[in-house]
Amino acid sequence: MAMVTAKLCSPAATCLPGGRTTSSLPRRSALPRRATLIRAAAGSYADELVSTAKSVASPGRGILAIDESNATCGKRLASIGLDNTEVNRQAYRQLLLTTAGLGEYISGAILFEETLYQSTTDGKKFVDCLKDQNIMPGIKVDKGLVPLPGSNNESWCQGLDGLASRCAEYYKQGARFAKWRTVVSIPCGPSALAVKEAAWGLARYASIAQDNGLVPIVEPEILLDGDHAIERTLEVAEKVWSEVFFYLAQNNVLFEGILLKPSMVTPGAEHKQKATPEAIAKHTLTMLRRRVPPAVPGIMFLSGGQSEVEATLNLNAMNQEPNPWHVSFSYARALQNSVLKTWQGRPENVEAAQKALLVRAKANSLAQLGRYIGEDESAEAKKGMFQKGYTY
């Protein structure tokens, strides 16, 4: 009696009639894969972008943000009784940008388009005033916030149309980094749509900016509005930054050639319990370590309506131990409030106002190094500047 022997198939093979397996069939030669070359967004500017980002993220220095729109600058001028004219805007920005010794504490200045093309009353370009003090000129490139259809009364940031040509022109004018601000509102959700729109817009902008030689500052501001606890802010911040880096990677953005401008993780402005600088530092650094790759050279915090002193104390608390990134500041109101109140639009007050700027710049420089003490601060510097629904 003939014995039938079953032939076992290997796990990687399929049994066929007659005891054959797929592994015993003639193998087709592998089809050559078509090479797909993906050019990084940075293109030929990669080395320059890395160098620029490192220069801005240099020890003991941070960013002076004076990129307020003409309308917002007009509100600042109105607070000291000045009309919103180009002459007055130019005079105020000249005061700021010609402050002797500013480069010791400030590594970059974000300008509004008008300011990028302006000069001092003596005819020297503002861009050259900055370069003479080793301060990198930057430029606001977004076109502001508009309502986001289909959302819970949320916003999205416009400005991608024509962005490449604008960035190329700004580079020719001397700008070397850019800023794009979008916002996320916790009281409004935030909705998945709003978070995705914010992240995608930032990623497209960052890719376009790098392609034209500008280091992009990535800024999804989580507004202070609301009465939520600090834990809720942390939850939202982690979600937002997770989406942002997902889309930055999809758009082939060079992480070593970007800077971040996040909100600090704080309770909502209307929350009943105020957080200490130590608690804010703990929650903020927790979020950053969970979401931000160490390849990113600099974290330049926005002040978001905190008082001048609060913003400095919180930054100082975050620099009490080494971080994987340069942790510094990109402040507007938290550097300018005392300056504006000192100036009052009077030529005879310019020198005193410039000294006030140096006081605030030095305080934040010390905070970046973790050495700020906070003594002898004025009552004006301790005043909060939160504005519900703030627009820039």
Catalytic positions are 219, 261
Distance, C-alpha 165 to centroid of its chain: 22
Can you say how many angstroms the Cα of residue 260 is from the centroid of all Cα atoms in its chain?
Answer: 4
- In whole angstroms, what is the distance from residue 203 CA to residue 251 CA? 6
Helices and strands, number each (H, E), in the chain? 12, 10
**Distance (Å, rounded) from C-alpha 323 to C-alpha 321?**
7
Question: Quick one: CA dihedral 278, 279, 281, 286, positive or negative?
Answer: positive
Answer whether 186's CB lies under 8 Å from 268's CB: yes
Say if CB 211 and CB 43 are below 8 A apart: yes
Q: Which amino acid is at 7?
A: K
Residue 305 is classified by DSSP as T
Question: Cβ contacts of residue 359 below 8 Å, gap of 6+?
Answer: 338
Rg of the Cα trace of the chain? 26
Cβ atoms 157, 142 nearer than 8 A? yes
